[in-house]
């Protein structure tokens, strides 16, 4: 059998991927203020349809889930119609696309919340840093701890968003439980200091994630749902007293769901200990029984190596896909890569979004 590399096709649940290069979720802040994708998003995603799989930018499941300006939503029919134009364009170009379902939790600001209310979180613990609002950067506020009676409503929001994503024509969905947002805030004991059935032990802290997954899988069925985790990522002021123990148990439980894949970011390796005692997230591959996706600054050589070693089945690329819409072809030819322009990452128009050149 020939060695597996980035260009080897993969059966992913109910669909076939033409290669193992995944476009990572990339927040670009170019939707309307109502959270509706438009013509720019259609062109942006269509350009990148040569990826084996596209993961959409993080997409809010409810008005209360919003934490940044001009991020897309998937909680109403108008947003779903906007996304449908995107999914059709990607699929007609031969691509596959999943919608990343997102609730930011405490990483928001009253300026971005309905009625100016405080953001919600598992516990009333303010993150360090500042929120990006329509009026510029403002210090984070102390979030309101969710009442246990409110948590079924969060689960219903995930279920409804999954239904809207299905109506929008996505090939599947990814539940965002990483990077210091709501579900990750429940998982890690640095942000979850509850004493009820959703706090304390790992079994309790993972309860909301498992309930949200059950709801989403109830809409999509087996093989169309993925999950993203970030065990050692300190982003958004996150930490855990035992990340290896916490996330090992989470992964063991996720095996019960028949997921399309598990997406684990290795980000945080450059700051060992910042988010808790360090361990290598690739160690979680041993516990996972399905398709495993890794993500952390990979290039072609390292991507091929981690696949050949059997330590991952898919490799997600962020900034390289942002600046190189034809990244798979550039890797195939060993062609030079365009350089990303950080000044155009967040917000703006076509510049730095849909105007990066192709090889031909």
Q: Kindly tell me the number of DSSP H helices and DSSP E strands found in the chain.
A: 10, 15
Q: Is the pLDDT of residue 65 over 50?
A: yes
Which residue is associated with the tokens 């640095």? 190
- Given 45, 181, 261, 317, which residue is catalytic? 181
pLDDT at 318: 98
Domains of the chain, by residue range, sit at: 10-344
The string of pLDDT tens digits covering residues 183-196 is 999 999 999 999 99
- pLDDT by residue (tens digit) across 274-312? 999 999 999 999 999 999 999 999 999 999 999 999 999
- What's the pLDDT at 222? 82
- Catalytic residue flag (residue 181): yes
pLDDT per residue as tens digits for the range 138-158: 999 999 999 999 999 999 999
Ramachandran category for residue 209: left, alpha or beta (phi over 0 → left; psi -120 to 50 → alpha): alpha
Query: Does the pLDDT at position 1 exceed 60?
Result: no
Average pLDDT over residues 89-109: 98
pTM beyond 0.85: the answer is yes
- Cα separation, 123 vs 143, in Å, equals 7
| CA gyration radius, the chain | 19
Tell me the per-residue pLDDT of 187-224, one tens digit each, with 9 for 90 and over. 999 999 999 999 999 999 999 999 999 999 999 998 99
Residue 282 C-beta-side C-alpha neighbours within 13 Å: 13
Please give the pLDDT value at position 111: 98
Task: Average the pLDDT over 92-102 and give the result.
Answer: 98
How many angstroms from the chain centroid is the CA of residue 322? 15
pLDDT at residue 2, as a whole number: 65
- Where residue 14 falls among pLDDT bands split at 50, 70, 90? confident
For domain 10-344, the CATH class is alpha beta
* Side-chain half-sphere exposure of 219, counting CA atoms within 13 A: 25
Say which residues have a Cβ less than 8 Å from residue 111's Cβ, sequence separation at least 6.
Answer: 131, 133, 134, 135, 138
φ, ψ (nearest 5 deg) of residue 342 = -60, -25
Rounded to 5°, angle at Cα 293 from 101 and 51: 80
User: pLDDT-derived band of residue 360, with 50, 70 and 90 as boundaries?
Assistant: confident
Q: Which residues pair with 337 in a beta bridge?
A: none
């Amino acid at each position: 059998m020939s060695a597996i590399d980035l260009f080897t096709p993969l059966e992913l649940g109910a669909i076939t991927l033409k290669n193992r290069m995944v476009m990572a979720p990339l927040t670009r802040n170019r939707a309307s203020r109502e959270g509706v994708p438009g013509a720019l998003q259609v062109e942006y995603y269509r350009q990148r349809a040569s990826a084996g799989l596209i993961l959409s930018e993080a997409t809010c499941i409810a008005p209360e889930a919003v934490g940044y300006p001009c991020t897309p939503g998937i909680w109403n029919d108008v947003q779903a119609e906007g996304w449908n134009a995107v999914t059709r364009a990607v699929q007609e170009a031969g691509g596959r696309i999943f919608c990343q379902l997102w609730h930011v939790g405490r990483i928001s600001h009253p300026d971005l919340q309905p009625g100016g209310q405080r953001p919600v979180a598992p516990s009333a613990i303010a993150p360090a840093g500042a929120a990006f609002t329509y009026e510029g950067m403002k210090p984070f506020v102390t979030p309101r701890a969710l009442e246990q009676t409110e948590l079924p409503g969060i689960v219903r929001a995930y279920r409804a968003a999954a239904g809207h994503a299905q109506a929008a024509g996505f090939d599947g969905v990814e539940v965002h439980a990483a990077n210091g947002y709501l579900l990750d805030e429940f998982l890690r004991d640095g942000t979850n200091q509850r004493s009820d059935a959703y706090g304390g032990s790992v079994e309790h802290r993972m309860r909301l994630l498992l309930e949200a997954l059950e709801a989403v899988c109830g809409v999509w069925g087996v093989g169309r749902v993925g999950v993203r985790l970030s065990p050692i990522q300190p982003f958004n002021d996150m930490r855990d007293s035992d990340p290896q123990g916490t996330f090992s148990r989470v992964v063991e439980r996720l095996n019960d769901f028949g997921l399309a894949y598990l997406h684990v970011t290795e980000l945080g390796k450059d700051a060992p200990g910042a988010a808790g005692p360090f361990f290598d997230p690739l160690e979680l591959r041993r516990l996972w029984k399905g398709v495993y996706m890794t993500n952390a600054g990979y290039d072609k050589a390292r991507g091929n190596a981690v696949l050949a070693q059997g330590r991952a089945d898919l490799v997600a690329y962020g900034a390289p896909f942002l600046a190189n819409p034809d990244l798979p072809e550039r890797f195939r030819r060993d062609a030079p890569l365009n350089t990303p322009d950080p000044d155009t990452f967040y917000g703006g128009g076509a510049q730095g979004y849909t105007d990066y050149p192709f090889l031909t």
